[in-house]
Amino acid sequence: MEKLIITVAPTGAWPTKENTPYVPLTPEEIADEVYRSWKAGAAIAHIHVRDDKGKPSMEFEKFERTVKLIRERCDIIINLTTSGGLDVTDEDRMKPFIELKPELASFDAGSMNWMNTAVFLNPPKFLETLARKMKENNVKPEIEVFDTGMIYNALYIAQKGLIDKPYHFQFVLGAPGGITATHKNLLHLVESIPEGSTWSVVGIGKYQLPMIYTALSMGGHIRVGMEDNVYLAKGVLAKSNADFVEKVVRLAKEFGREIATSDEARKILCLKCH
């Protein structure tokens, strides 16, 4: 079976210091957590930033500083979000990857209702521009799929020549408003993507662990971190994002699956193919 790529998503847009004092919010805190997670076995870091009040943000300077601090310390693959922050313009969403040229950036392949907050807006025109800008800047889209129809959306844009093969999908299961986190649903998503694609899975909250087990056995890759879940076990907060990475490494070892380094992940995801 292919080596396992672990992505760490240390911050996200939602958890606050009230939810968990351990969530990293400043560029310094985020870079520390990414470095610890990389040492524990994470090959990719999916980065969101916050403004000075701790609110989700697409503030370019925060991305710039965070990426600089990470790059000074390790060779982890950087994956920048394009969706952090409310009331941001399309330009705000794209500027960090255009300027900082990470190897990956998230491509949320459709709109959905975040049932606890707002509409997560990714209209067709924006997705087309997003794909075009990523291609121009040699940034590989991590196609985030919150529901089955989003696979169709991504392939529709790919057929226009705007996303290169092999495609890389990040399936997000158990988000409020997205597809539910069941084995059957994950299997259906995996069977719906083109042959030769790579895929990883995120289980939100209590679904993190069942999705980890399923992905391990199906040969998929795994994302963990406080963006998706702040509890390491029932009622026990993770003290660091590296705790989640260590847990996955432990489970993978028991299962007999090796962990991919960042360079091995570059090969698996074909990051230097184009």
Residues that bind Zn ion (CB under 5 A): 81
Least separation in angstroms between residue 258's CB and Zn ion is 26
DSSP class per residue in the chain: -PPBPEEE----SS--TTT-TT---SHHHHHHHHHHHHHHT--EEEE-EE-TTS-EE--HHHHHHHHHHHHHH--PEEEE-S--SSS--HHHHHHHHHHH--SEEEEE-S-EE-TTS-EE---HHHHHHHHHHHHHTT-EEEEEESSTHHHHHHHHHHTTT-SPSSPEEEEEES-TTS----HHHHHHHHHTSPTT-EEEEEE-GGGHHHHHHHHHHHT-EEEESTTT--EEETTEE-SSHHHHHHHHHHHHHHHT-PBPPHHHHHHHTTTT--
Q: How far is the CB of 44 from Zn ion (least distance, A)?
A: 12
Which residues does 191 contact at the CB level (< 8 Å), separation at least 6?
A: none
Compare residues 105 and 151 and give the one whose CB is closer to Zn ion.
105
C-beta closer to Zn ion: residue 117 or 217:
117
Report the nearest approach of Zn ion to the CB of residue 108 (Å). 9
Residue closer to Zn ion by CB (options 8, 257) is 8
The residue (of 81 and 185) whose beta carbon lies closer to Zn ion is 81
**Least CB distance to Zn ion at residue 81 (A):** 4
Kindly state the smallest distance separating residue 223's Cβ from Zn ion, in Å. Answer: 9
Identity of the residue, 208 or 257, whose beta carbon is nearer to Zn ion in the bound complex: 208
Minimum distance from residue 191 beta carbon to Zn ion (Å): 25
Q: Rounded to the nearest whole angstrom, what is the least distance from the CB of residue 105 to Zn ion in the complex?
A: 10
Residue nearest to Zn ion (CB): 81
Nearer to Zn ion, 32 or 227 (CB): 227
DSSP 164: P
Q: Which is nearer to Zn ion, 76 or 257 (CB)?
A: 76
Cα Rg, the chain, nearest whole Å: 17
Q: Is the CB of residue 78 less than 8 Å from the CB of residue 102?
A: yes
In angstroms, rounded to a whole number, what is the distance separating the alpha carbons of residues 214 and 173?
12
Instruction: Considering the complex, state which of residue 47 and residue 257 has its C-beta at the smaller distance from Zn ion.
Output: 47
Least gap, CB of 66 to Zn ion (angstroms): 14
Structure tokens belonging to residue 48: 């969101």
